[in-house]
Structure 1
C-alpha cells in the first residue's frame, strides 16, 4: 500500500461540488480544524467546491471563527443537517434566514444514522423526537420555513407504536481526526479526549463509495501501531493530513491535558471550590437529586456545576457521571472543554453512549432550560433568530428515569446574591423563562406526564415539579416572597399547596454534608404508608442488609406502621441496588412469607437491575410466584391490574 500522507490542500481537492460531507468533533474536542481550514481556504481561492451538504452530530465550534464556522461562506454549503448549532452562529444565521436548507435533528439520532448508513439501511427508526419540533407534525426539524426543503423525517407506525423514520443519505467525504497514523492509514486516538463516531463515519463514507480523510498530529512507520489501539483501520482511510499544533488542540480551551486522555488520573482536591453565586446555588439544589450508585448525565451550561458540587461533597465515588460524547465516570469538564473529563472510568463511542441513553439507562439527567410553559414543555433550541439546536437534549430528556431542569428563574441582567443565608435579588432579569407557551418544543411535558416521568425545574429561588395536575410550586428559597419574586414573573400560575423551604445549607458557603444525607436514609423515611393511595412504600434502594439486626430493623418498622391499621394493605417495594448477604437468603424469604401472611394484601417489587431482579426472584420463589418489575410505575400498575 502507498503512503497515504497528503497536504491539507491536496486533501481539500478530494471534495467535489454537491458532495455530502460529515465531520467529527464535539464542541472543540476531536474537530479536524486543519481540514476545515483547508476546505475554507480552497473555496476562498477557487470558489469550489460548491453546494455541499454538511452532516454532523455534535456542535463543532467556538461560537466565533473556528470549527464549522469556517464553512459559512456563501455558496460553499447549501444544506446543513446538524445536532447542535449554538457554537456555529455563522451557519446558523444563514439557515434561519433561509439562505441554506437547515435541519436540526437529535444528536444521538445522527450518531446512529452513521451506523445505519454504513450498514446500507434506508434510515434510522427511533422514538427519539416524538412530540418535539423534530416530529413532522411540529415541523420535522426544519430550521426555516422560508426555504422549501424536503421531508427528511417521517412519522411511521410499527407494531402499533409511533416512531420517527430518519432518512439515510450517501456520505461522499468524511473529515475526521485522530492522534497517530501509520503509513497504511491506521489511526489511533491516544491523545484525544473523545472517540466520538469516527469509526462509524469512516464506514459510512467507505460503503457509500466516498473518501475518508483523517487529520493527525503524528505519523509513524507501518506496523508500528498496536492493533488494539487502532480506532479507524487503514482499509477505511484514503488520506492522512499531518496537522500543525495550532490547528490540532485537544479542545478549544486546552492545547493538551494528559488527564483528558483517560490514561492518567488527576490528583483529587486540586480544583478549588466555586464561589457561592447564582450558578452554584442552582447546582447545589440539583445535587440533592443525585442518585447514589446511579448513572447521571449533566448537560452543558448551568448543569455543569453539579459535577463540581458532587466533587466538593465527596459524591463522585458514589455515582457515575457521564457525558453524551462517550465519557463514563470521573468529573466532566465545562466551557469549551465540555465533553472532556478527568479521571474517567471509560471513554466509549458516542453512538454506543446514545444506545445506553435511548434505552433508559440513565437514572437521572440534569439539563438546562431556557423556556418553560404551563404544560411543562421546555425549549432550549430556538429563540427568534437565534438557533441553539437540540444537541443530545432530546435523547437524554425523553429517556432519563428522573429529570431535573436547572436554570435561573429569569434571564438577562439578573443579579442575585446570597447574604446571611438568604437570597437577595439586587436586579430582576428582564426576560421571563416561565410563560404560557414556549417558542419551540424541545421537551414535551405532556409526553412526560403521560409516561409518568418525574420532572423537576430547579432555579435559584424556587423548585417546581411536573405532576398529573400540571406544574406545581414545591419549594422556595429563604428570603424570597412568593407573590413578589415568583408569581409576578411568571406567565402562568402554578399549583400551590404545601410549599417547603429550600434546604438552608444551600445558601451557606460551607460544605453541605450531602454525602451523609444521600448515603444514610433513616428507616422512618424508607418505610412510609401513603393514606391517599392506601399503599405501603418500602424503599430498600442502595441498602446493604448484612446481618439479622439489619433485617429486624426493617421488620420492626413495617410492623409499627401496619399493625395499628388492623388490616392488610397493598405494598410496593423498591429493591434498586439493594444488597442482601447470601447468608440471609432463607431468613429474608421467611420474613417476607410472614409479612404476606399477616400484613400484605398484594405486594409488587421493582429494581432497575436485571441481575438483581433475577436473583431476588430466585430468593422469593420458593413459596410463591413473584414478579419483580423494572420501575415503580410498572409495580404500581401491576397492583391496579390485580384489582
Structure 2
C-alpha cells in the first residue's frame, strides 16, 4: 500500500475529536503548510473534522492567517495547547471569545512531553514554571475561562516541589522534512531547524496514532543515506509532496540558513542609532568573555549586532532554543534559524541543556514589570502571545537581563544631540503595581540566587533581596520627573545611583571589552 498521498487524502485521515500535533516553529519555519491548508479545505467542504485538540510546541503561523490560524474555525477546534501564540491572531481571538479551551505551557516542557508520551511515561516533572502562571496556584497555564481541565499539578519528590505536566495520547502528528522516500524515510537537510520532528512521530505512533509528513522532494526507497535519515519510515503513514515548500514565510530558500553553505565573513553593517540600539548596548555590558548566551525574539537580538560592531562576536557563543549552538541567530520571521552554527540539535536536547543550567546569561524582552520584580510577556493589552521558551530560558540561567523601553509609546526619541537622550512626553506605564500574568517569578529568582537586571533607555533596575532597586539613570534626566512619576509604584533607589554609559547614546562604537567569566555553576534549583 502506497504511503504517497495528496494533501487532501492525508487530511481526510484526521478523525473528529482527534488530538493533532502540528510540528514546526513561528514565522512559517518548518511549517507543513500544504497539509494545514488541506485540513481547512476539508472542513469547509465537509464540516469535518470537528472538535480537534491542537497541540503546537513552538509558535505556529506567519501573522497573516497561516499556521494554526488555518484551523481557527468555530466547531473545528475545541482546545489548543501551545507554547507560543504570537503568530496566530485568529486563534487568539477565538480564545478571548471563549470559543475554545486555551492553554499556554512552556515550549521546553511541551518539547519534553512528546518524548515522555513516546516512552509511555506519565508526563514531565520539572522545576520550570514554578511561581509563574503555569503553576496551578497561579492559573495552571490557562488562557481563558473555558480552559477547565487541569493539565499541570504540583507534586513533591525528594522533599522538593515540582510541576507535573500530564501526558496524553496524540492521535495525529503532522511533521515536515525536506526529502522523503517511498517507504517514508525522511531527511531534513533543507530545513532551518530540526524542531521536535522525531519525537512528534514517535509520540503519535506509540499512542496508536498516525503520522503525516510533508516533504518537498520524493525519491525511491533505498536511495537515502541512512546517516541522514532523521525519521525512519516505520513511523510514517503518509507522505505529502509540496514542491513549493518554503524555508519560512519570509524566505523561500537560503543555503546559509539550512547549513548547506557557510556564509563568508563580511564587514558588519552597524545598527543605526536608535532607542533599540541604546538598550542593546547597555545589555551588552552584562556579557562576559566566553559566555554561552540565549537572545530572545525582538529587541534582544540587537545585542548580537552590538557585539559584532565592537568586534566581540567571536568571544561568546550564541544559542537558539530551537536547537542551534554557535553562529549568528536569524531575526524577524526567520527567528529560530541561524547562520554558521557550530552544531544543530533537536530542540528537546537543547531544552535539557537550558533547564539544567547550561546558559551563562540570557537577554529577554519584557512587556510589564511589577513592584516585586515579576515579569510578564505572555498576556497584556488584550493580546496573549504566550511565553514560548521564555520560562525555560529565564529560569535556567544564573544571569538574566530583561530589556524594553521604559514606557509603551510610538513617539520618537531624540538621541546623540546636545542632550544624550530626549524623551517622548507620552506613553503608558510598563512598570506596574502587579503584572497581569507572571512569566518570570521574582520569588523563584530569590530562591535560586539569580542575578536579574532590567534595562531601559533611561533607567536600569536590579532585583535585590529587599526588592526592585533603581541603580542607573541616563545622562541629563531627572529621577523624579523622568523615571519615578512614570511608574505605578516607587522602587527603592540605590544610595550609589550611577549614570548610564553616555557612549550608548551616540553613533560611534563604544570601544567595549568583555570582562572575564566568573566560575560557572549549574542553577540551584
TM-based fold match above 0.5: yes
In 2: Cα distance, 1:268 partner to 1:491 partner: 47
Offset at residue 148 of structure 1 (A): 5.4
- Show the counterpart of 1:569: none
In 2: Cα distance, 1:429 partner to 1:277 partner: 18
3-state SS of paired residue (2:50) = coil
In 2: Cα distance, 1:384 partner to 1:410 partner: 13
- Show the counterpart of 2:332: 335
- Show the counterpart of 1:235: 234
In 1: Cα distance, 2:322 partner to 2:477 partner: 39
Q: 1:394 to 1:16 in 2, by over 3 A?
A: same
In 2: Cα distance, 1:423 partner to 1:221 partner: 64
User: Does 2:7 correspond to 1:8?
Assistant: yes
In 2: Cα distance, 1:439 partner to 1:425 partner: 30
TM-score, scaled relative to structure 2 = 0.97
- Show the counterpart of 2:484: 487
In 2: Cα distance, 1:252 partner to 1:343 partner: 21
3-state SS of paired residue (1:401) = strand
In 1: Cα distance, 2:378 partner to 2:460 partner: 22
In 2: Cα distance, 1:235 partner to 1:311 partner: 45
- Show the counterpart of 2:496: 498
**1:161-211 alpha-carbon deviations (Å, 9 max, x no partner):** 001111111001001000011111110011100000000000000001111
Contact 1:30 1:250 survives alignment (8 Å): yes
In 1: Cα distance, 2:141 partner to 2:317 partner: 32
Matches within 5 A, 1:429-468: 429-468=426-465
User: Does 2:93 correspond to 1:96?
Assistant: no
In 2: Cα distance, 1:270 partner to 1:225 partner: 39
Offset at residue 429 of structure 1 (A): 4.1
**1:339-376 alpha-carbon deviations (Å, 9 max, x no partner):** 11111111110100100000011100100000000100
Q: 1:19 to 1:483 in 2, by over 3 A?
A: same
TM-score, scaled relative to structure 1 = 0.79
Contact 1:93 1:385 survives alignment (8 Å): no
Offset at residue 447 of structure 1 (A): 1.4
- Larger helix proportion, structure 1 or 2? 1
3-state SS of paired residue (2:398) = coil
Q: 1:428 to 1:186 in 2, by over 3 A?
A: farther
Contact 2:268 2:309 survives alignment (8 Å): no
Task: State the Cα RMSD in Å.
Answer: 1.6
**1:94-124 alpha-carbon deviations (Å, 9 max, x no partner):** 1122111111100100000000000001111
- The structure number with the bigger radius of gyration is 1
- Show the counterpart of 1:120: 120
- Show the counterpart of 1:197: 196
In 2: Cα distance, 1:348 partner to 1:148 partner: 33
Contact 2:416 2:507 survives alignment (8 Å): no
Matches within 5 A, 1:552-567: none
Contact 1:135 1:164 survives alignment (8 Å): yes
**1:550-597 alpha-carbon deviations (Å, 9 max, x no partner):** xxxxxxxxxxxxxxxxxxxxxxxx5x3xxxxxxxxxxxxxxxxxxxxx
Matches within 5 A, 1:261-276: 261-269=258-266, 271-276=268-273
Matches within 5 A, 1:230-629: 230-245=229-244, 248-269=245-266, 271-420=268-417, 422-496=419-493, 497-514=495-512, 517-518=513-514, 541=516, 576=519, 607-608=520-521
In 2: Cα distance, 1:294 partner to 1:272 partner: 23
Contact 2:420 2:502 survives alignment (8 Å): no
3-state SS of paired residue (2:13) = coil
In 2: Cα distance, 1:422 partner to 1:379 partner: 32
In 2: Cα distance, 1:316 partner to 1:396 partner: 21
Q: 1:148 to 1:269 in 2, by over 3 A?
A: closer
Matches within 5 A, 1:132-211: 132-145=132-145, 147=146, 149-211=148-210
Q: 1:316 to 1:263 in 2, by over 3 A?
A: farther
3-state SS of paired residue (1:274) = coil
In 2: Cα distance, 1:40 partner to 1:271 partner: 44
Q: 1:429 to 1:108 in 2, by over 3 A?
A: farther
Contact 1:17 1:49 survives alignment (8 Å): yes
Offset at residue 479 of structure 1 (A): 2.8
Contact 1:422 1:507 survives alignment (8 Å): no
3-state SS of paired residue (2:175) = strand
- Show the counterpart of 1:58: 58
**1:396-424 alpha-carbon deviations (Å, 9 max, x no partner):** 11111100001100003232121337443
Contact 1:55 1:81 survives alignment (8 Å): yes
3-state SS of paired residue (1:488) = helix
Offset at residue 294 of structure 1 (A): 1.5
Offset at residue 451 of structure 1 (A): 2.0
3-state SS of paired residue (1:427) = coil
Higher mean alpha-carbon deviation, 163-172 vs 255-264, is at 255-264
**1:273-307 alpha-carbon deviations (Å, 9 max, x no partner):** 21010111111111111121121000011112111
For CA contacts below 8 A with separation 6 or more, give which structure has more relative contact order.
2
Offset at residue 272 of structure 1 (A): 2.1
Matches within 5 A, 1:38-53: 38-53=38-53
Q: What 5-or-longer segments of structure 2 have no aligned partner?
A: none
Q: 1:114 to 1:504 in 2, by over 3 A?
A: same
- Show the counterpart of 1:222: 221
Higher mean alpha-carbon deviation, 94-103 vs 184-193, is at 94-103
Contact 2:420 2:506 survives alignment (8 Å): no
